[in-house]
Amino acid sequence: MTNMSKTILFFGTDTFSAAALTSLIEADYTIGAVITKPDSKSGRGQHLTAPLVKQIAEQHGIPVWQPTKMLDLVPQIEAIRDATDIKEVAGVLSSYGRIIPQAIIDLFNPGIINIHPSLLPKYRGPSPIESAIENGDQQTGVSIMQLSAEMDAGPVYAQQTYALDGTETQPGLYEDLATLGGRVLIETLPEILDGQLLPTPQGDDAIYCHLLSKDDAYIDPANSTSIQAERKIRAHLQYPKSKMTLLDQPVIILKAHISTEQTSALDVAFTDGHFVTIDELIGPSGRRMSGTAFLNGYAAA
């Protein structure tokens, strides 16, 4: 089953969402509209940039809605429903980044289907991918769930695990789980829409993760172990990035490894008696460089 009896309204914004939207398009689902955030300023020039899902939608001739107030969607969704033969549409959401009011969830049958990048009820919240890396988990995965007013608390249709080997980085794991989420969505969506696959309530042992901020960027060697620091560097590679002071200079750490001895200023001591060796960084000039290049430049200064 690929061309479906229901028109899908897709909620999403970032690169994680793009994989799910692309999967739906390639599977020949009818997408009535893509709902995303308004264009935002980004980069050094602060140019107005469209969300990636908007760009994909426009390439395929799909209408794009960018509400500033979520309840403004109600008449648009009702108009889509009235225009369909079966008087209903399905909602699919992936990393939209805004809370969906219950009044909008109730317009869909069976509710809104959400892709969440963790094995719920573990890591409800906005940073499940970063939390899995930072906590040294041996596996993570994706959950196809029914959206609820309470964050990530809805019942789960299906899950797929993904093994971790301790070398994952934030952007790499985002890409892998986005691809996995798109695949599991396409595998399960026909049965969900037909009512053959019903969701199962989550357990009571929920674990929550917090919204990352710039305050999470700073690594304090006096208050963390080398293992914690190395994981944090990988978990925060794209945002908020890991910052330290090295040779009295503020730097952003891009790549590092744990070592047992100190041979230069690139080996930073932590509370467990081990060291984190800085392999690659962004220096005060904003230039990306190897740790050795930084050492050669600043140690001699």
| The CATH number, out of the four listed (3.40.50.150, 3.90.400.10, 3.40.50.2300, 3.10.25.10), of the domain defined by the range 214-298 | 3.10.25.10
pLDDT (0 to 100) of residue 109: 86
Domains 7-208 and 214-298 are alike in CATH topology = no
pLDDT (0 to 100) of residue 41: 77
pLDDT (0 to 100) of residue 84: 76
Nearest alpha carbon to residue 217 among 282, 132, 140: 282
Q: Which CATH class is domain 7-208?
A: alpha beta
Size of the chain in residues: 301
pLDDT (0 to 100) of residue 103: 93
Domain boundaries of the chain, sorted by first residue? 7-208, 214-298
pLDDT (0 to 100) of residue 148: 92
User: What is the β-pairing status of strands 112-116 and 89-94?
Assistant: parallel
Residue 63 buriedness (CB in 10 A; 0-12 / 13-18 / 19+): middle
Hey, CA dihedral for 89, 93, 98, 101, is it positive or negative? positive
DSSP 103-165: HHHTTSTT-EEEEESS-TTEEESS-HHHHHHHTT-SEEEEEEEE--SSTT-S-EEEEEEEE--
pLDDT (0 to 100) of residue 298: 84
Assess contact for 35 and 10: CB atoms under 8 A: yes
Question: 3-state class of 262 per DSSP?
Answer: coil
Averages of pLDDT over runs of 10 residues in the chain (301 residues) are 71 94 96 93 78 96 95 91 77 93 92 97 97 98 95 96 98 97 97 95 94 95 97 97 95 98 96 98 95 87 57
Question: 3-state class of 94 per DSSP?
Answer: strand
CA distances from 288 to 41, 120, 170, 171 (A): 24, 37, 18, 17
pLDDT (0 to 100) of residue 1: 39
pLDDT (0 to 100) of residue 3: 43
Nearest alpha carbon to residue 139 among 162, 119, 116: 162
Q: What is the pTM of this model?
A: 0.93
pLDDT (0 to 100) of residue 115: 98
Amino acid found at 205 = D
Q: How many CA atoms lie within 13 A of 74 on its CB side?
A: 8
pLDDT (0 to 100) of residue 81: 82
Cα–Cα distance for residue pair 254/288, rounded to 1 Å: 9
